[in-house]
Amino acid sequence: MSTATGTLTGQCLCGTVTITTTQWSAQVSACHCRLCRVWSGGVQFGFDAPCEAVTVTGTVRTFRSSSFAERAFCQTCGTSLWLRDDNGPYEFVPGFFDGASELPLVREVYADRAFACATLVGDHPRVSRAEYEATQPHVEDQT
């Protein structure tokens, strides 16, 4: 995994929430699970940042989307802010940060659940639902 340092800053649509991180993983994963499809509207992109590198200002609402993770959003405009497993790093969406436009897509998970409109090009690994759930915490009965 390649780690980047510097300053990556973004703001939600209404400007209430600002997130800054000084370290992040310079690679993006895409997830097509049902939770991510509903939350994002199609496919969820994410990259990690360690908790100690992250500063959040503004009023954030969180929702426990599973027994092991929360999703956060701006309480005013609803912008998706992060997905985070308990005790895990932040998983941010690249679209939130102007400086994240060049992060490469390196992996798709739940690739066999992708909607036709969310077909992604490229040579990266495509992990099926069964392959993913064999090794990772997951929500049961997600189609």
Q: Which is nearer to Zn ion, 77 or 134 (CB)?
A: 77
Burial 94-114 (b: 16+ CB within 10 A, else e): bebbeebeebebbebbbbebb
According to DSSP H, which parts of 1-143 are helical? 34-40, 129-133
- Scanning 19-27, 66-74, 113-121, 123-131 for contacts with Zn ion by CB under 5 A, the matching segment is 66-74
Size of the site for Zn ion (CB under 5 A): 9
**Least separation in angstroms between CB 113 and Zn ion:** 9
- Scanning 48-56, 68-76, 98-106, 119-127 for contacts with Zn ion by CB under 5 A, the matching segment is 68-76
12 is a contact residue toward Zn ion (CB under 5 A) = yes
Half-sphere exposure of 103 (CA within 13 A, CB side): 28
**Least separation in angstroms between CB 42 and Zn ion:** 12
Q: Which is nearer to Zn ion, 4 or 60 (CB)?
A: 60
Residues in 19-58 that interact with Zn ion by CB under 5 A: 31, 33, 36
Instruction: Give Cα separations from 105 to 62, 90, 120, 129 (angstroms).
Output: 26, 17, 9, 18
Handedness of CA 56, 107, 124, 26 (dihedral sign): positive
The tokens for 77 are 């405009």
Name the residues that contact Zn ion, by CB under 5 A: 12, 14, 16, 31, 33, 36, 74, 76-77
